[in-house]
Structure 1
Amino acid sequence: MTCIGGTMEIKGLITGLQTYEQSRINKEKNKEGASARNSGSSSDKVTLSQDARLYKAGLEQAMNAEEVRAEKVQELKTMVQDGTYKPDSRNIAQKMIQEDLESWFQRS
């Protein structure tokens, strides 16, 4: 995160999340691999974590969305290119916290 002229700029959030997720997946694979080697079982078994199931469900919903608001996307794209896009950082932070809390309570 960088603070530029009173506005907060978040860089690499997705990359950081992807790196974290890949690291977590690799740890799970290593645990499962060690467990399988120790058990002596010849059958393979795959179990998805709750996080993986939630990610898959979200991805499917996004892929099956009925419409992409092309006009809105173009409008925002133009505003970003012109430097006139001024997001409400307080509103964005509130939405992020709200979504995180909702996600947290859905897992519980």
Structure 2
Amino acid sequence: MKEIKSFEEWLETVKLKRKLLLFVKTDNCSVCVGLYPQVKALETVYRLPFYIVNVAEVPEIAGQLSLFTAPVVLLFHEGKEYARFARFVSMEGLKRRLEEIQ
């Protein structure tokens, strides 16, 4: 997973990539730590770029994407949010949505 380091970098990424997955985490989040390896493992299965951002380091992204918890997994297609999974992410649901945009 490539790391997003600034809100400007995020805007450029979502503009350039036709489809992508964004994993949103924050500091001191045990659910984030547990979910990350499961989501990262999907990166080898699906042909779209995976990104990660820590909202403690890039707080603007939380406000602009209306993120109120962590972790959040967002799928983007054609520059728009396609699906959102927050806090307790259903891996089966995530896989199903990934298949839809594959």
Give me the TM-score of the superposition, normalised by structure 2. 0.24
Structure with higher strand content: 2
Structure with higher helix content: 1
Q: Higher relative contact order by CA 8 Å / sep ≥ 6: 1 or 2?
A: 2
